[in-house]
Amino acid sequence: MPTAIWPMGIVYSRADFVNEYWRPSENERRLDFQYYEHDLSRVETVVAETYAFTKSFQERTGYVPGGWATYFVRRLEKEKKPFGLYSGGPGVSFSFDPICSNPAEPLWQQFSREYNELAIHRLGANASPIQTQWLKKGEVRIPRKLAKPRFITPYFAQFLC
C-alpha cells in the first residue's frame, strides 16, 4: 500500500487557526473589522453616538473607516447556547462593525482602540475576543473552562476568568 504524501502547505497546527487579527503584518491587505454586539433596543443610540464619534475622529485625524457592517441575529435562550458567552437571553441583537481594507493602517488601529472605549464602556457592547482587536484586560471575559491551555496565547490569557 502506498504511503500518503501530504502536499506542502496542507497540514497545519491547530494553533495556526487561532484568530489573532489584532497583530497584522506590515504589508497585509485584507478586510479587517471590529465586532460589537448590541441589543436591538439600543440601535438608535448606538448609531447616533457612533456617527458623532466617527465625525469627531475624522476632524481630528482625517481618517474614517472604509464602511460599517451591520446584521441582526435572534438570540436563543441562554440554556440553548452551551457556552452562552454573548447571550443575554432571548431577543434580537445587532452588530455594528467598522471595517477597513488595511489592518496595518495606524489610523485604523487608533480608531479601533478609541472606538473600543465608546462601544464597550459607554454603549455596553459585547465584544468578541477573536474579532475585536486591541482589547484591554477586563473588556471581555473568556470562561477558563472553554479554553484549551495549549492554544492560549499571552494575549488571550489576560481575558480568562
Given a cut of 50, whether residue 15 has pLDDT beyond it is: no
Residues 46, 90: Cα–Cα separation, whole Å:
20
Could you tell me which residues come within 8 angstroms of residue 63 by beta carbon, excluding any fewer than 6 positions away?
A: 57, 105, 107, 108, 110, 111
For residue 16, is it within any domain?
Answer: no
% of the chain with per-residue pLDDT over 70: 76
Backbone angles phi, psi at 7, to 5 degrees: -60, 145
Query: What CATH number does the domain containing 89 carry?
Result: 3.30.70.2520
- As given in the structure block, the three cell numbers for residue 98 are 467598522
For residue 100, is it within any domain?
Answer: yes
For residue 122, is it within any domain?
Answer: yes
Which structural domain, as residue segments, surrounds residue 75? 26-134
Structural domain count of the chain: 1
Q: Would you say the pTM of this structure is higher than 0.85?
A: no
96 beta partners: 70
Of residues 2 and 111, the one with the higher pLDDT is 111
For residue 7, is it within any domain?
Answer: no
Residues 147, 130: Cα–Cα separation, whole Å:
13
Mean pLDDT value across residues 150-156: 77
Given a cut of 80, whether residue 111 has pLDDT beyond it is: yes
Q: 3-state DSSP call for residue 29? A: coil
For residue 31, is it within any domain?
Answer: yes
Of residues 56 and 92, the one with the higher pLDDT is 56
- As given in the structure block, the three cell numbers for residue 133 are 482587536
Given a cut of 50, whether residue 12 has pLDDT beyond it is: no
Of residues 52 and 126, the one with the higher pLDDT is 52
Q: What's residue 18's pLDDT?
A: 45
Sign of CA dihedral 142, 147, 150, 151: negative
Given a cut of 50, whether residue 8 has pLDDT beyond it is: no
For residue 99, is it within any domain?
Answer: yes
Residues 33, 36: Cα–Cα separation, whole Å:
10
For residue 72, is it within any domain?
Answer: yes
For residue 91, is it within any domain?
Answer: yes
Could you tell me which residues come within 8 angstroms of residue 77 by beta carbon, excluding any fewer than 6 positions away?
A: 87, 89, 90
